Chain A
């Protein structure tokens, strides 16, 4: 063995663990070295670029400042004439030369509306520079023959006069620019035309300006093309459904889909044939394509049921809703053959009759389950309902139900249902049997018997719009007292029937209470004596004040009188007065008065002190 071989053997005999550890370290150090080298290169490159940029900028600024086109803006009104506010309907889109922000995928575009009809979409983009939405291609929507404005932006620090520009091959001179245009913002009014549909492009080219006596070209830096999406209702794809074949549990049809105006040609689309119930619930869906698709089959359907076939397309038709669903054609009233028919008739407020008719050939068709549900979305079973023979009972009044039958036809499990509605129940009848000046008596009855309902509360309210309950009444059987006389009230009955709360009310008026009777028992030249009585007894009323007034319109109280029991003195002779009594009955304040005259004073009459 050579010396070198020996040395190699010795080195190769180094402990594996040492080799592994050192190799791992080597890999890590090599990686670090690579990163360090890349950083040094990047720093050096950045520094070089920075220096070059500064130098270039200096040269450009020092020597010349030619006008530069930076992009176009679309708007519904002339932005130079009126500045758009944030809440304004004008929406701006800028194509400010940031070409690398564009993607060429149609369905990722930001939706920006030009038409006022799509107000909800406007709120997303109103007055905002949409170039904040990085990486999306923006598109405008408008209708045929709709005007809009294109503003051409030019960075023109030396304010060179702009002569013209070319848009879609047509030259527009400065006199054609809209009011408010200046040498940095040139506004042009445009219209897509009557027949436009799909994407309409506007491409700018050849902007001319004057430098001294020479006509030169503006440097074009920004994005030169913008797109307008035009929705034309006459240019949409059309679908027809024909050659329909039906049996008990399936429907088959041919569908022809045409797209003469290439409305689907602007991006992604999906086409489907959908089968819906007559309540517009989607039962099944098949993917289809343009042209004729034969024999589209929908299976597993319910027999004797009405469906419709709808052809739908998901695409952007430029109506402002973006990539969305559009119905391209439909065929209604497709009823499968019926093996079994349910009928419900003779509905009352709490019951109904029904029958099950089996089609010839299906006489042995067995119904696995027959039941009733409420007509809610979940079809909640109506548990208290009983089906006996041909009668359904235990229903609630004025409610919608479904009678459901489950069975199998041609191996397909079917749930057939038929809707029905119970009759309205006659309302509770409240009869006011008697009213007095402070009470009301009533009776209640129900056409179907009171045993089907539960009266929860009976009370009286004022005759106001909020039906304020009257307090401090007392109830004795079907009589409520403690009311005021001559007032209009409502008697309200709250009750529960058919599992639901109900309310019935009737209006009534308490009788007028006969007023307090004041009897002038005696008058002298300076006093009056009186007695009082009440038809309903004095025990229910409280006399609050007794006083005398002059016989004038305002019933001016006479002062300095004195009262002794039921005699009032201190009056003048030969005068007419009113004796007034203020009193209260069940908290109601009333007034009674009686007219009297004091006799003339005679000679020798003394005033008793």
Chain B
């Protein structure tokens, strides 16, 4: 075919193009290409075919998947690495390239930004100077919230309506505070101070129906709290009144679960009652919040710093005390097999977050000042390096599919706009 004439001595392979994006479908007859073909050449080939068969006129950048992994080297090297026979027809799937995210804004803080959470257009950040900040995605600063006495390590939105919002912040001062924010008045109220941890908190997360939250920290305990605004869940009205009169806004945990040997670094709800935690003691534990026990345990060989669970593909990615990001399947029972290792960072990876809409994409922030956008099908190289930070990246967030947000030790929050393709 088109490229067959370039080098007659090079071995030929038969490939067949396949796509799941119907607007870019090409006829699926097998083509013979030389094995040293690189993705660029394949791209021109597909574009030629598209122009022949459809009315797509402008060139489109595609990524090619062979054996469900992105083709980054020549086809020959790729298939040799995976021991694919050259005798058979190789199916080359192509998808439109993910558009490069554009840096949108840089929010400057007074101190290290160690926590960030996005909900719709609101960006909530937690700082090492013990304050919380609320920004809009346009970069407008709305509010500074002092209240904690130690650096804030995690923030999470609980609810957000047009005029009211609730969020929680976890700090090293051993408390988590549930805040109420009146958007119209732009005033914030501390509703509850969750006391119970004996050391600094590291992680907090809210379950899907936003009624319960889990916190973990350096005292190795996992504590479950109610996020309800008013303390009517237990002991009735009188007890809550008594509590209020004694401790003010203090809230005590619904349940305390012990099991980790060291600090809990990441918490994520994977189900209504299922919590997955990562810890410095080299384990990931899966808990049942209702029964209050460990359901399953995955052991790694490095301390875990963060994890995230994707409801789309039901797997867990972790950041640990090395430069690799590991993908685990929490449901697998045959040992703790790392399914994929993503390596590109040069320093500790501190934070990982799945894309909320695409089951293959996730971002990671590391101490090498880089945030990276990854595709699970490309473990050796990220899709994009989102540079910008001048110091360690401490946190990142991608709750709003439009924005990838990261906070770092250079006192800034960087917002990258992601042009999402509808597939």
Q: Do A and B bind each other?
A: no
| B-to-A contact residues, CB < 8 Å | none
